[in-house]
Amino acid sequence: MSHNNRKLTIRYTLLVLAGILLGWLLFGRGGETDDHTHDHEVVGEAGEVEYTCSMHPQVRQDNPGDCPICGMELIPASEDDDHQEDDPFLFSMRESHYKWANVQTMRVTAREAVSQVRLTGKVAVNERETRNITANFPGRVDELFADFTGRFIRAGETLATVYSSEMMQAQQELLSAARGKEQNPRLYAAARERLRLFNLTESQIDNIESEGEARSHINVYAGQSGYLVERHVSEGDYLATGENMFAIANLVTVWVELDVYENQLGQIRTGDEAVLGIPSSPGREFAGRVEFVDPFLDHQTRTARARLTVRNHEMFLKPGMLVYADIDSGDASQEVMIPSSSVLWTGKRSVVYVKRPEKEGFTFEFREIETGAPTAEGYPVLSGLSAGEEIAVNSVFAIDAAAQLRGHFSMMSPPETIELPEPFRSNLGLLFERYFDVKNALADDDPEEISVDHAESMLNQLEETGQHSLEGEHHMFWMEQYGLIAESLDDFLGADELETRRAQFEPLSEAMISVAQTLGAIGQTFYVAFCPMYDDDRGAYWLSEFEEISNPYFGSMMLRCGEVREVLREGVGGAEMPAEEMEGHVH
């Protein structure tokens, strides 16, 4: 290589090294003065990056490494990841997860609906239209005309001829008495009455008397038209008085006996209208009405019978025929219906995820609801969900699984609930309602007598609930709160000015909040609200049945002053207000 070429190579090498050094100075060293984290990384309070596992997002630590569950390398956690709310009932998803899981929602509406249930059963003979023909005197069947069941019998038709010596003796007594009836009319009347008791008609008795001769054979006649459904005698059989001979059923009307399962009994009442169909004759329908529900349950089939009387047009319905019935139970009412895909089952109660519009992004609330019997359209909601709320109807299990991974309440880890016995639970619910009446009267600046009347009603309800009505682990707690509530109500009723009553309302509220936090809300969601400006900025709490602030301490002067500090749900108790927040508020 020549000297000039060697110099050129060295020059190019120095230029490349200088470029590398300049880049390091501009980007590498300069970056040392900046935060090394990126926009999408989660930074802890001390400035460290938080790391998580892409397969197990519940894993969180402040240094890189491997996942302790699957061994995968941890990655910086994103601020956009699904994040935890302070409330374990709430779970938020980032938009990408929301779309990836294909979550779909719908707004539930109330509709006018009639509860309808389909039952199956059989046609049966109407017992009210069935006549049993019995032997009214002893004898022997010499001739039988009604000789097979299923035969149609007309009223007055001869069914059998019976020989009876006792009947001949009674006829001879009549003939003897008839010859001396002018001298002894009472004996004559008794002889005719004896033949009537043998079920002879007046015309038969008159014929015997006019002919003047006792008959050895007497005909047995049908008392009504219908079908012979039972035959208990044959020619030559001897009969005893009272022995059953025939049964004739009129099928102009029939019974339909339906099987009602145990869980359907609450939906069936006498008077409910029904439309009957015949599986063997599609399109043919009959109308009926429930007139009787059996008070006893079959211990083997776990069913009771519901009976309808149906007019049998053209004798189409045959006893023993299979039928089904669609029964409308009760009057039309407003109900919320949700699709079956929106419900997760936890045993006694069901779970849905309610979208919270007041929260940013895609936030869902874990909600336990009570549903009715399933229908083709889904499940009617008996409690826990209101019209207008928006629920997830698709990928509900994905939401629940993600919430469980974050340690929130889910189908597999629901909140522990408190089961309160009856009638304490119902009485406690009424006590809360009376408290809300007092609270709303103060917030509305109602006249003195209105809030006083509500307070008196609350005191009466407290006494109805009883101080010793709750047994078990919460017995002593309720006794203590009972005393505090009673004392606060007495002071409230003894106050003669609005501001004094508002001051006495504070210890009453604190006692009621403590009850709701420990025993759970009754029948709905309760909200613990706080006004920071009351009593020279000392502040005061109250309990509300709705989320909107309606301040009972200031009324119309500062009606919206305050904020919700806690949400209490039905059956979920055991919570306590933080001591530092309650400090200075206990009287």
pLDDT digits (tens, 9 = 90+) for 9-28: 555 554 445 444 434 433 44
pLDDT bucket at 246, cuts 50 / 70 / 90: very high
- pLDDT: is 38 or 196 the higher one? 196
Res 128 pLDDT > 60: yes
pLDDT of amino acid 494: 92
Read off the pLDDT of each residue in 85-103 and give the average, rounded to a whole number. Answer: 77
Instruction: Give the separation between CA 62 and CA 51, rounded to whole angstroms.
Output: 6
The reported pLDDT for the residue numbered 236 is: 92
User: CA torsion sign, 387 to 393 to 399 to 400?
Assistant: positive
pLDDT value of position 17: 52
pTM: 0.46
Average pLDDT over residues 499-516: 94
The better pLDDT of the pair 135, 267 is held by: 135
The per-residue pLDDT of the chain, averaged, comes to: 82
Question: For residue 240, what are the β-bridge partners?
Answer: none
Spatial separation of the C-alpha atoms in residues 268 and 273, rounded to whole Å: 10
User: What is the pLDDT at residue 562?
Assistant: 92
Asked if residue 132 belongs to a domain, the reply is yes
Tell whether 455 and 434 lie within a shared domain.
yes
Predicted pLDDT of residue 130:
92
pLDDT band with cut points at 50, 70 and 90 for residue 575? very low
Confidence (pLDDT) at 16: 47
Range of the domain at 550: 424-582
Whether 490 has a pLDDT exceeding 90, the answer reads: yes
Report the range of poorest mean pLDDT among 58-67, 500-509, 543-552: 58-67
Burial-class residue 249 by CB neighbours within 10 Å (0-12, 13-18, 19+): buried
- State yes or no: pLDDT of 6 exceeds 80: no
Same structural domain, 466 and 573? yes
Residues 67 and 151 occupy one common structural domain: no
Q: Tokens in use for 45? A: 């309070």
Query: 202 with 234, same domain?
Result: yes
126 close to 273: Cβ distance less than 8 angstroms: no
Q: Are residues 69 and 200 in the same domain?
A: no
- Domain boundary (220, 249, 278) is at 249
Domain count, the chain: 4
CATH code (residue 321):
2.40.30.170
Q: Note whether 553 and 436 are same-domain residues.
A: yes
Structure token digits, residue 525: 């969601």
Q: Is the pLDDT of residue 2 over 50?
A: no
Q: Are residues 564 and 446 in the same domain?
A: yes
Give the pLDDT confidence score for residue 336 in this predicted structure. Answer: 86
Within a domain: residue 88? no
Q: Residue with structure tokens 């006829």?
A: 171
What are the E-state strand segments in 210-252?
217-221, 226-231, 238-239, 244-249
Q: What are phi and psi of 222, to 5 degrees?
A: -80, 135
